[in-house]
Structures are given as C-alpha cells and as structure tokens.
Chains A and B, each alone.
Chain A
Amino acid sequence: MATSILDLSAERMAETSADTEDLRLVEGLRAGADSSYEELLARFQQPVYTLALRLLNDPSEAADVVQEVFLKVFRNIGHFRGQSTLKTWVYRITVNEAHNARRWFFRHRGREVELDHEPDESRNWKESLPDKSRSPYDLAVDRERHAMIETALARINPIFREAVVLRDVADLSYEEIADVLSISLGTVKSRILRGREALRDELAGSLKKRPALRLVPKTARVNL
C-alpha cells in the first residue's frame, strides 16, 4: 500500500513537473525566445517525424507533414491553453495533418507515378556508417523485419493504424491516445486490439507468402 501511494505521488510529481516545463516552454515560444524554439524542435522533431512516417509510410509526405505541423504549432502556440499536455497537443496536430495528407494523396496523387529515388539512398553519412556492435547478419534480419512490419502497418486500416502507432511506436498511454484522437478510452482499447490483430494477420500472411524469410530467424534462434 505504501509503495502504491509513493508511486502515485511520484507520478503526480512527474506530471506536475512536465506541466511546468510545458508552460515554461510555451511562455518562451510566445515571447519569441530562441532557446524555446530550439528546445521545441529538439523535443518534438524526431517523434513527430516518426509518427508522420509511420502513419503515412512515405518519407517525403512525412517531411511535408512535419513542416506543416511545426508551422501550425508555431502559429497557434498562442491558443494553447494547457488543457492537454504539449505532447498530446502536438501529436493531435500531427495525426490530423497526416489524415489530411492521406486524403489529399488519395484525391490528387493516387495515380501519379513515383519518380523519386529510394528512401534508403537519401540517408546521411551517419546512418550509413557500419555498426560494429552488431553482425551484418543481425542487421540484415532486423532490416528485413523492419520492412515487413512497415509494410504490414501500411496495409492495415488507417483508423487502427493510428491507435497502434500511437501506442506501440510512440509509446503513448491509453489516456494520451484518447486525448490525441479525441475518442473514449474504450474505443482506444478496441482500436488498439483490432489494429494489433490486423497487423498480426498481415504479418502472418506476408510470412506465408515468403517462407524463406520465415526460416531465417527460426534457424538463428535455434543456434542461440
């Protein structure tokens, strides 16, 4: 009992300090403080890009969405009332922008032919450096698994994808997801469950189609 009380108080303290930090950051942005703008980018550019990328599965679309998101954040920071956390506010904008981009894509660019180069080719020099801690085999397996998950994620219903990405990729709590998507906790739970099931089915389907890939990790596990 004592532990749970301590946990609760620690959680509350963490929430309070996060709120205070958010307020300080928002005040700095409103005042035009250079450090606040840098801090906002440092805190959110990576998660926002990841979220947009996982929701759209297109790096160029995701980059456009991220710019739109930050433009909206900078322009509307005066309207931020602190009713939700800054994180959920920014994520909500991201989800909405990704949704708009997806609709726009299906309306206007669905039939266009992609002429861009492959996303892997656009990686910078840091990303292309070899990671000595892991073997090329592990890296290849990881990359293959990444690709499979990304493909499966892109195939499931966008409504369920949003919930799964927010929970499993962005690591948001159910309450935060409910706040971001403006839905009830029950709906969050149901969407996550259905999204995971759909994802699992997609993965199972893709593994069945490609038996060679299925065998490789199994062999590796037996050897370990």
Chain B
Amino acid sequence: MSCENEQQLISSLLDRRIAGPERENALAHIASCQTCETAYESMQKMRLSLGKLNAAPVPAELRASLRDLAASERLRMISRATQKTRTSRWSDTVHLWFENLMRPMALPFAGGVLSALFLFAAWVPSMAAPRISGDVPTPIMTAPSLDRFQFTPTDKGGNAVVTLLIDPRGKVMDCQVTGGELSPELINMILFYQYTPAKVLGHDTWGTLVFRMNEINVKG
C-alpha cells in the first residue's frame, strides 16, 4: 500500500467507512509508516477538537426569543387549526343540506328524464315525412294514352295516321284519318279500345291522340 491515498484512507478510517480486511490493511500500513501514523494522529486530534465545538451554549436571549416564537407560532397554529375545522364543518353542513335537498328529488327527477326520453323517442318518428310506396308523380297535364296490351299488331292498316278525340271517360268521341288508308276492322278496333283520358291536375279531361299503325304519337 502506498501513501498516495493516505488522506482518503485516514478520513475513511476515522469515519468508520471501511471495514474488514481493508481496514486491517490500512491500520497495518499506518502502524508501519511514520508519515501516515503522524497524519492519522493529527487528523484524529483535529477531529476530537472539532467534536468539542459541538457544545456551543445557546445565549439566554436567544432561548427566550425562541420560547416567545414557539408560543406565538403555537397560538397561530391553533387558530389556523380552529379556522380550518370551522371551514370544514361549514362545508360538511352545506354538503349535507344539498344532499338532503337532492335525495327526495332524485327518483322523480330520474323518472322525469326517462319519461321525457321515451316520449321524445316515440314522437320523433312521427315527425318524419310519410313515404308512400308506388306513388306516381302527378304532373299538371297528361295526354291521353292507349293501353299497349290491348293493341294487337296487324298488317292491314298500312301506314295510316289517325287523330282521335278522347273524352274524360276514355272513349273515342271523334276520329279523323290524316294520312294513309284504314281498313274497317282497324277502325272498329280503334273505336272500341279503352283509352286513358287526358288529365289536368289529376282530373280527367278531353284530349287528342295521334294514332299511327306502326307507332303511337301523342299530341297535346
């Protein structure tokens, strides 16, 4: 062991910070080394002298002022504790009063809220616009038309064009051949068909239907 770290070892030895073999080695070194022994002893004496500084008598004035300070601080603590207790008691009272006030109202309030929710849920669907399935849009005016299923194609009509006047009941009231030539069979067929009358704002009315053999043209 060298004397390089003697001061640290001596300091640790004095403070009992090393133990076991390390302590034994350090003590053995100190016993064998004159420099370290002197340093150890002087450090020990210095430490003892420092320890004697521990008993500095407290001046009487300081003792008295500390007693006064303690007394005043004690009173302050008590008054603070009292104030704190008073505040906490007042807070408890308010809390209890509020709870007592709310407790009888809790059930009716909850019932009211639930009823309101239920009624609202029941009422909301009725507010929606009714959806009618298969609704046909109603234009302001519609022309008369012929039900296609009644029409049986024939090759006897050629390319004749017939203008028909349809009454509100869907019957042909007048017939005028405007082009081509019609056979009597075809004229009978046209006359006895059931037509859909023209409509104005949903009401049946008179209308004109242009009838061709190969197609049907509707005019106003």
Which of B64-72, B99-107, B150-158, B201-209 is the contact stretch? B64-72
Interface segment out of the listed B21-29, B73-81, B116-124, B170-178: B73-81
**A74→B61 contact, CB < 8 A:** no
C-alpha gap A174/B15 in the complex (Å): 9
| B58 close to A46 (CB less than 8 A) | yes
Q: Determine whether the beta carbon of B73 is less than 8 Å from that of A71.
A: yes
List chain B residues, Cβ under 8 A from A53.
Answer: 56
**A 69-88 binary contact with B (CB < 8 Å = 1; else 0):** 01100110000000000000
Would you call A199 and B58 a contact (CB within 8 A)?
A: no
Q: Which residues of B contact A145 (CB under 8 A)?
A: 49
Interface of A is mostly: helix
Q: How far is the CA of A168 from the CA of B14 in the complex (A)?
A: 10
In the complex, which residues of chain B have a beta carbon less than 8 angstroms from the beta carbon of A47? 54
Per the bound structure, the CA–CA distance linking A49 and B69 in Å amounts to 15
Q: List B contacts of A67 (CB < 8 A).
A: 62, 65-66, 69
A213 sits at the interface (CB 8 A): no
Stretch at the interface among B39-47, B159-167, B212-220: B39-47
* Tally of A interface residues using CB under 8 Å: 51
Cα(A47)–Cα(B56), bound, Å: 8
Q: Mask for A144-179, Cβ within 8 A of B = 1, else 0?
A: 011001100100000000001101111100100000
Binds B, one of A14-22, A35-43, A96-104, A109-117: A35-43
Instruction: Tell me, in angstroms, the Cα distance from A52 to B86 when the chains sit together.
Output: 40
Q: What is the bound-complex CA distance between A149 and B42, given in angstroms?
A: 13
Secondary structure at the B interface, as helix, strand, loop or mixed, is helix
Instruction: Say if the beta carbon of B128 comes within 8 Å of chain A.
Output: no
Q: In the assembled complex, which residues on chain B have CB atoms less than 8 Å from the CB atom of A197?
A: 7
* Contacting residues, chain A, for B8 (C-beta < 8 A): 189, 193
Interface residue ranges of A88-145 to B (CB < 8 Å): 122-124, 126-127, 142, 145
B55 interface contact, C-beta 8 A: yes
Does B110 sit within 8 A of A, measured CB to CB?
no
**Is B53 engaged at the interface, CB distance under 8 Å to the other chain?**
yes
A40 near B59: Cβ-Cβ < 8 Å: no
Tell whether, in the assembled complex, residue A74 and residue B49 are in contact, meaning their CB atoms are under 8 Å apart.
no
Q: Assuming A70-B70, A193-B8, is B54 touching A169 (CB within 8 A)?
A: yes
B50 at the interface (CB under 8 A from A): yes
- CA A37 – CA B55 in complex, angstroms? 22
> Given the complex of chains A and B, what is the CA–CA distance between A154 and B67 in angstroms?
29
- List CB contacts (< 8 Å) of B1-22 with chain A: 7-8, 11-12, 15, 17
Tell which of A50, A63, A71, A149 touches B59, judged by Cβ atoms closer than 8 Å: A63
Q: Which residues of A contact B70 (CB under 8 A)?
A: 37-38, 40-41, 70, 74
Contact indicator A203/B46 (Cβ below 8 Å):
yes
Contact B62 A34 (CB under 8 A): no
- Please judge, given known A-B contacts A32-B78, A50-B55, A171-B51, whether A63 and B61 are in contact too, CB under 8 Å: yes
Q: Is the CB–CB distance between B7 and A193 below 8 Å?
A: yes
Chain A: residues with CB nearer than 8 A to chain B? 29-32, 34, 37-38, 40-41, 45-47, 49-50, 53-54, 59, 63, 66-67, 70-71, 74-75, 122-124, 126-127, 142, 145-146, 149-150, 153, 164-165, 167-171, 174, 189, 192-193, 196-197, 199-200, 203
17 A–B contacts from the bound complex (CB under 8 Å): A29-B77, A31-B81, A32-B77, A32-B78, A47-B54, A50-B54, A63-B65, A123-B57, A168-B51, A169-B54, A171-B51, A174-B15, A192-B11, A193-B7, A193-B11, A196-B43, A200-B42
